[in-house]
């Protein structure tokens, strides 16, 4: 791997890159877990099912830099590769996606620098997810490093589809047969329909539960 090390200020070695980006991932993950716990406390509901985090491999970063015509240096990695650190937040319902995105925006020291809404505007392949590129400070002993993290937010069903699509993409090196691509698009439509039906069902259940609780309160007041 032809990864060169710059001799300048800031992040200047792969070991330090992994240290800083891992620290950023831990911060984001911990904050999301705290918000999820708070949501459970206030609303008796967890919008987040689970969280996955990863650091991009040096080989993958170098390939991405070459693809975009950049030299394989630490400086270029930090400057041009936005997804060195990536975190995926899996939720139950499509409504949770935007709720979680809003919670992230409200964090004072997190700055949102880019958003791609593939929920409202899916890719031609059928891919759906909500992407955010954010920066947050990592506090080292001698300085703060504003560090980029890519956040992907999607439902369980979207994640299941995306995992299969990812495997197929690599098996065929991005050139899958047309009939497989068509099947994936059809499956994506089924995922969208499933998400919509599950959200509708959940809203109906909540309405019934809330109605029942209201009746219980009314009856208890009569007794008092």
pLDDT in tens, the chain (224 residues): 344 444 444 556 888 889 999 999 999 999 999 999 999 999 888 999 999 999 999 899 999 999 999 999 989 999 999 999 999 999 999 999 999 999 999 999 999 999 999 999 999 999 999 999 999 999 998 889 999 999 999 999 999 999 999 888 878 877 888 899 899 999 999 999 999 999 999 999 888 887 776 565 555 556 55
What local confidence, expressed as pLDDT, does residue 44 receive?
83
What local confidence, expressed as pLDDT, does residue 1 receive?
39
Burial per residue of 177-216, b for 16 or more beta-carbon CB atoms within 10 angstroms, e otherwise: eeeebeebeeebeebbebbeebbeeeeeeeeeeeeeeeee
What local confidence, expressed as pLDDT, does residue 7 receive?
42
Contacts of 207 (CB under 8 A, 6+ apart): none
**CATH level 3 topology of 14-210:** Beta Polymerase; domain 2 (3.30.460)
pLDDT in tens, 1-24: 344 444 444 556 888 889 999 999
What local confidence, expressed as pLDDT, does residue 169 receive?
80
What local confidence, expressed as pLDDT, does residue 9 receive?
43
Q: Which residue has the tokens 């609303």?
A: 43
Which residues, in sequence order, are bridge partners of residue 133?
A: 114, 150
Phi/psi at 113 (5° precision): -105, -15
Determine the distance from the C-alpha atom of residue 127 to the mean position of all C-alpha atoms in its chain, rounded to a whole number: 14
What local confidence, expressed as pLDDT, does residue 14 receive?
84
State the Cα–Cα distance between residues 198 and 26, nearest whole angstrom: 31
Name the residue ranges covered by the structural domains of the chain.
14-210
Q: Does pTM top 0.75 for this prediction?
A: yes
What local confidence, expressed as pLDDT, does residue 170 receive?
78
């Amino acid at each position: 791997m032809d990864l060169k090390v710059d001799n300048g200020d800031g992040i200047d070695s792969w070991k330090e890159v992994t240290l800083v980006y891992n620290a950023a991932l831990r911060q984001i993950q911990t904050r999301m877990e705290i918000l999820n716990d708070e949501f459970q406390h206030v609303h008796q509901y967890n919008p987040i099912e689970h969280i996955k985090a990863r650091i991009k491999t040096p080989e993958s970063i170098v390939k991405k830099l070459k693809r975009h015509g950049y030299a394989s240096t630490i400086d270029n990695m930090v400057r041009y590769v936005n997804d060195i650190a990536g975190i995926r937040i899996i939720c139950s319902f499509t409504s949770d996606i935007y709720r979680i995105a809003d919670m992230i925006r409200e964090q004072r020291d997190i700055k949102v620098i880019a958003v791609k809404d593939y929920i409202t505007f899916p890719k031609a392949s059928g891919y759906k997810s909500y992407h955010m590129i954010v920066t947050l400070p990592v506090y080292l002993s001698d300085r703060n490093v504003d560090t980029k993290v890519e956040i992907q937010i999607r439902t369980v069903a979207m994640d299941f589809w995306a995992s299969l699509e990812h495997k197929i993409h690599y098996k065929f090196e991005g050139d899958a047969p047309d009939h497989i691509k068509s099947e994936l698009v059809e499956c994506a439509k089924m995922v969208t329909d499933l998400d919509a039906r599950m959200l509708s069902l959940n809203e109906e259940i909540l309405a019934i539960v809330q109605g029942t609780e209201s009746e219980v309160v009314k009856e208890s007041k009569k007794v008092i």
